[in-house]
A and B are shown apart, each in its own frame.
Chain A
């Protein structure tokens, strides 16, 4: 699905990302953990061709993401509020995103019904533009818009951070169920070690731009990670 080949990015001489080799196969659910500044978001931006790598290349389905735009068809991402069009109502935003993937209004409405519980009545028909929603609700809009695209590759940056506990649980359940149904590859970053070890098959631990651990999740993984983060 994804291969990162000898990729590095630095700002003013500080290496932010340095990944000599990484392969991600279809259907994997991958969790990226690491302290602030470890390079998680930068790595995501590289995957989405939002920043230029100093060297190396990133291939999505064997195609360099910086050369071809094909990845846009099957990739959905939500990194921050910079992915939402803030002066649209949530509905308008969903229809817009739907249109980009040839989904009609009816398709979108039907899809959104599944999110009724997740939205908790405060998003659809709220009479607000996205910019007036709370941060947590904006996040829900972003996540729902990603899933609406039925992506083969889903990228979420700290999806649990802004959500209330019930929504976190619901998201965990979705992330566990959906990939099996749709053959989706998922990449999430998180500071919440519990959720991440619960959801992901494989954990990448980043430190100063490098992937220092690449572990398949087992019963001991949580403990292993807690050991690493202990000060």
Chain B
């Protein structure tokens, strides 16, 4: 029975919307995963070598063992943020003639199929099979590997248990975060040493392999605890968060802008109330710190200042780049409704321009603080900002009319490739590459300031033409409207 259910999961994975994103995306994802695993394996294989180099002449096994608990703490936090509860997958089976124990067993086995459960083996196995096996013998190595296996199981099921608890009662979440923070502080201020504990524990294990019983018991206990909990709580409504009251909100300052203001308010609510765009918004704020990487003294010395254009375009246009790649698709679920209600297309497009202008200007104002590093940066940013609201906004809306893939707003954002197609891959390229086509020859043959003046000037001219662009884009939109609607309707 459990096997049948697992085979359904296998099918749902391959036939799911994520899988349907087209061959290019699948190949890319496959390569990405292969790359991640390969780099992990390389790290695992190289670990002994690296440790020998860093600590020459010392016994590296205790040093290695000192890191293991750090890894598991990191693993714990990672799991807490990205591991999802496979609860809803059993919804269609609850009413069928399948015993609860089997469903719970299925849920528990299903939970093992996770990227994070593979990592420790890539990371620790090579070292265990070489250095540890050489120093402590086969039995100790077997005990070590078994311990890692069961600690992974322990971590896997404990985090699922805690996550399920936090869904039922939010105080568990507070407690969990507090515990992690306290632990990190204690370690940071050397009040207790995770490293010493870790080294002691695993060296003891290696000398007395029979102690492997402890991680085995921990792992099994964690599994049984989760099993028992699930068996008693296999009800759908309890899996749903008891959410707090939602309140209505009006942005009166936007209402003065009429219909466009109303549509901007809609975009703002969309961003604040849905997981995926909220994540993008947070990333956009985070990316404004890119200046610290690119605006360096070394780079200021470069007479062409090539790299600055990238950083400035990226930071002042981060919103256009991130939010804009799904500009219309964010609204895909109710696009039918939008298109048949009393919204004129020009007003719809104008609202997107206004949104871009406002957010990019805010980003420009905030990142102007980099001007404290050098006044040159201020000019670079000014030119990039003008280019973003002048040209990139137009390009973004134009490319949005070519995107027919719907976006599912309700799903979480991490590793979510749903709704991504060729357009999204091209998108960032076009937005970054085109200004370089203008800037590069000018900077090379005339001078960087001419380059920035022309990039900014082109942006300014185009910005003044925004009324005309609205007309052009409206025509373009009408031409594609049915294709967009048809694509968005496919859920």
Question: Residues on A close to B: CB < 8 A?
Answer: 45, 48-52, 69, 72-73, 75, 77, 79-89, 91-92, 95-97, 99-101, 105, 127-129, 131-132, 149
Contacts and interface: CB of A to CB of B under 8 A. Distances in A.
Contact of B341 (A72, A80, A86): A72
Contact of A51 (B243, B247, B334, B485): B485
B345 to A, nearest CB: 7
Interface string B331-359: 00111110111111100000000000000
Contacts of A51: 482, 485-486
Contacts of A85: 266, 334, 337
A87 B259 contact: no
Contact of B489 (A72, A82, A91, A149): A82
A26 to B, nearest CB: 19
B206 interface: no
A99 B259 contact: yes
B268 to A, nearest CB: 11
Given A87-B269, A100-B262, A92 B343 contact: no
Contact of A50 (B255, B269, B333, B485): B485
Nearest to A146: B341
A101 B409 contact: no
Q: Which 10 A-B pairs have the closest CB atoms?
A: A83-B337, A127-B245, A48-B340, A52-B482, A87-B273, A82-B336, A100-B342, A91-B248, A72-B342, A89-B248
A100 B343 contact: yes
Chain B interface size range: 20 to 34
28 contacts: A49-B340, A51-B482, A69-B345, A72-B343, A73-B342, A80-B336, A81-B333, A86-B333, A86-B334, A87-B273, A87-B274, A87-B409, A88-B269, A89-B246, A89-B247, A91-B248, A92-B269, A95-B248, A96-B262, A97-B341, A100-B259, A100-B343, A101-B342, A127-B246, A128-B246, A129-B273, A132-B243, A149-B342
A105 B249 CA distance: 12
A50 B270 CA distance: 23
Given A51-B486, A85-B334, A72 B273 contact: no
In this complex, which of B249, B250, B482 has the most chain A Cβ atoms within 10 angstroms of its Cβ?
B482
Interface of B is mostly: helix
Interface in B236-271: 243, 245-250, 255, 259, 262, 266, 269-270
A83 B485 contact: no
Nearest to B488: A82
A68 B220 CA distance: 68
A77 B247 contact: no
Contacts of B334: 81-86
Interface of B: 243, 245-250, 255, 259, 262, 266, 269-270, 273-274, 333-337, 339-345, 409-410, 482, 485-486, 489
A88 B262 CA distance: 13
Contacts of A105: 250
A92 B249 contact: yes
Contacts of A127: 245-247
B368 to A, nearest CB: 33
Nearest to A97: B341
B245 A72 contact: no
A72 B340 CA distance: 6
Q: Which of B243, B249, B266, B341 has the largest number of chain A CB atoms within 10 A?
A: B341
B411 to A, nearest CB: 13
A75 B340 contact: yes
A131 to B, nearest CB: 7
Contacts of A80: 336
Given A84-B337, A86-B333, A131 B410 contact: yes
B337 A82 contact: yes
Contacts of B262: 96, 99-100
Contacts of B337: 82-85
Contacts of B336: 45, 48, 50, 79-80, 82-83
Contact of B344 (A48, A69, A81, A132): A69
A82 B335 contact: yes
Contacts of B245: 127
Contacts of B485: 50-51
B101 to A, nearest CB: 32
A95 B250 contact: yes
Nearest to A142: B337
